[in-house]
Amino acid sequence: MDKNTITGLILIALLFMVFNMFVAPPPPPPQQTADSTAVNNPNMRQDSLNLGDPMLPSPNNNNTTASQSGLFLQPTAPSESFYELANDKLKVTISNKGGRIYKSEIKDYVTHSKEPLILMDGPNNQFNYKFFLNNYLVSTDNFYFEPHQTDANNVILRLYADSSKTRYLEQKYTLRSGSYIVDYDLNMVGFDDLINNQALIELHWKNDLRPQEKDIETEQYVTGVYYKEKGDDVNYLSESSDDEKQVSLSLTWVAFKQQFFNHTLIADKAFTRGNLKIKAPPKDKNNTTLLETASADLAFEYQRSPQFNFPMHFYIGPNNYKLLKNLDLKAEGQALAMEEMVPLGWTIFGWVNRWIIIPSFNFLHRFIGNYGVIILVLTLIIKLVLFPLTYRSYKSFAKMNVLKPEIEELKKKYGKDPQKLQSEQMKLYSKAGVNPLGGCLPQLLQMPILFAMYRFFPASIELRQQSFLWAEDLSTYDSIMDLPFNIPFYGDHVSLFCLLSAASSLIYMRLNQQMTPSNDAMGGQMKIFQYTMPAMLLFFFNSFSAGLTYYFFLSNIISFVQQYAIKKYFIDEEKLLKQIQENKKKPVKKSKWQQRLEDMAKAQQQAQQQQKQQKKGHTRRRFEQQQNNSKNKKKRKRT
């Protein structure tokens, strides 16, 4: 380094020193508190707080703070303290730093690994308010509140704005006895001369949602943010991808919902608007600590009053349909409908679950303690109720089976004319008094119950961690073997209930095919279907709830028994044949449905005949034209 370089560096250093002494602003006066988050921003008005605004000022030690202006004096050496509220269902830990719920533990449940079930976990959740006092933006997250009352049922924390303690911000928590509900009040006392009327107060709530279940992938897929707008249905953000929603209407409640649990914030007077977000972490097979990050920026209006109160409630508990439906909570006289967070299916499938399956399940649980036995009894009841439909289905198949020889004769006679064959078959069915769809319709009527069960078992918290036979937890997949590798669409384990369900489905389909009259075209399709369907079950149901695959297996076994009993004791094919022959002698009374089928067959025949005639006419005209062209060519050659 030469002399000129050294001289230049010295001159630059002197220049900076002079600038700091005479040009730069003086340093701020010493701070009175160690933690303070209010900042001076005269360019922003108190009533123009913007939810989720990235330009919102953030705490900065170089800015003038609310404490320096004489507001919210803090201890000289503040420290974080904790207070507990507990009953037989819930334990809530409250921190004096920000006055927020620091941790919540649901006492009557544990995680899959048998650890305490924590929903709001210490530093991984945020809950703070932002509002303006004159031109000072106040954020409560780093202020230390003082305990005003702490006992077994209540924790009241206050943040005093002055030494007289007549002006303060209060947060009151009350845990109800034997309940998952924490009543929560925000009280603002003595601020009516510092806050504009109808100015917005923003509540920022954010939480990292932790895995609680065995199947993290499934749990993540059904984790999300649910909310209800005033006078509207329950809605939710996408559960399968990152999503964000600006809600401009009044919000009654917002829930961070996981597979079997949720924590919900309910406002008695409704939030004015909100910005809701859900975000998943980067995909990583080794990630066992984070499902999603959920956040809600909510706002409500300050109504100028010496004592402003905004009452709210926390629900921190299970996604139990009956419990959520019967919550002793309402918002402005309206039902909360929080039970809609339990995914029971749409329209008819949801109705079947709400009005048939869940009441039956709860009734059986009053007398039977083992949930595997309850599923068995419930399956027997469902099959017994549906037995008349099953009997009609099998009887219809048996009638068509008796008519096999006559159908084969029709095939030999009209095999080259499909439309004629179909018409003659319909005439035969009509004379014999057989409905060809009689075996399918009863099966279709059973589909709503099948799909209702498909939604009920994975969403039923009653099955969570309930063991049966080799299954440790009926709410998730059972595994008799863990594979050292992952098979696409199958997984890295072997579910025995899934294997039994697939095998029984294959046998059931083969037995049904034997009872159905053969059809060359349909027979080939049915053979393909009877093998592909169990294969699909084997792959796609391998990671499904053990309760669901156990139900499918039971349903197939009971169907075998019903089919055998009907064929052996209820249906005599010789009598059916005699009855069919007698029906043929009687005058045919066509139903509207049969008449429509015959009309459709006749119309198709007529259309085919017209097409044939048009084709013949076109061919004839084309031939005549070719003949005329040939004659004309010969004439031209002669001339």
Question: What mean pLDDT, rounded, does the chain reach?
Answer: 79
Residue 59 lies in a domain: no
Same domain for 356 and 395, yes or no, is yes
pLDDT in tens, 136-191: 888 998 899 999 999 888 999 999 988 888 899 999 999 999 999 999 999 999 99
Domain boundary among 276, 310, 342: 342
Give CA–CA dist 222/475, Å, rounded: 14
Same domain for 272 and 356, yes or no, is no
Range of the domain at 604: 591-630
Domain harbouring 227, CATH code: 2.70.98.90
Residue 271 lies in a domain: yes
Give CA–CA dist 341/334, Å, rounded: 17
Same domain for 102 and 223, yes or no, is yes
Confidence of residue 492 (pLDDT cuts 50, 70, 90): confident
Burial 413-427 (b: 16+ CB within 10 A, else e): ebeeeebbbbbbbbe
Q: What is the mean pLDDT of residues 626-636?
A: 71
The interaxial angle of helices 387-402 and 546-565, nearest 10 deg, is: 50
SS3 state of residue 210: coil
SS3 state of residue 274: strand
Q: Looking at residue 21, what is its pLDDT? A: 45
Q: What is the mean pLDDT of residues 509-516?
A: 67
Q: Looking at residue 497, what is its pLDDT? A: 93
Least confident of 61-70, 116-125, 304-313, 468-477: 61-70
Q: Looking at residue 341, what is its pLDDT? A: 93
3-state helix, strand and coil shares in percent for the chain, rounded to the nearest 5: 40, 25, 35
Above pLDDT 90, what percent of the chain? 34
Give CA–CA dist 65/37, Å, rounded: 7
Kindly state the DSSP code that residue 378 receives in the 8-state scheme.
Answer: H
- 459: phi then psi, degrees, rounded to nearest 5: -100, 0
Same domain for 503 and 383, yes or no, is yes
Confidence of residue 8 (pLDDT cuts 50, 70, 90): very low
Same domain for 521 and 487, yes or no, is yes
pLDDT in tens, 193-251: 888 888 899 999 999 999 999 988 888 888 999 999 888 889 999 877 888 888 877 89
pLDDT in tens, 531-549: 677 777 788 888 889 999 9
Same domain for 581 and 596, yes or no, is no
Same domain for 249 and 360, yes or no, is no
Strand order, beta sheet including 273-279 = 39-40, 136-139, 125-133, 200-209, 292-301, 273-279, 243-247
Give CA–CA dist 175/177, Å, rounded: 7
Written as one letter, the residue type at 139 is S
Same domain for 335 and 396, yes or no, is no
Same domain for 433 and 560, yes or no, is yes
What the block records as the tokens of 123 is: 């530093």
Residue 572 lies in a domain: yes
Domain boundary among 284, 307, 342: 342
Domain boundary among 322, 342, 362: 342
Same domain for 171 and 272, yes or no, is yes
Q: Strand (E) positions, 319-402?
A: 330-331, 334-335
Residue 3 lies in a domain: no
Same domain for 520 and 562, yes or no, is yes
Residue 88 lies in a domain: yes
Same domain for 96 and 236, yes or no, is yes
Q: Regarding predicted confidence, which is higher, 286 or 502?
A: 502
Residue 36 lies in a domain: no
> Which parts of 265-320 fold into alpha helices (H)?
none
Residue 147 lies in a domain: yes
Domains held by the chain: number: 3
For the chain, the first-to-last Cα distance in angstroms comes to: 115
Residue 34 lies in a domain: no
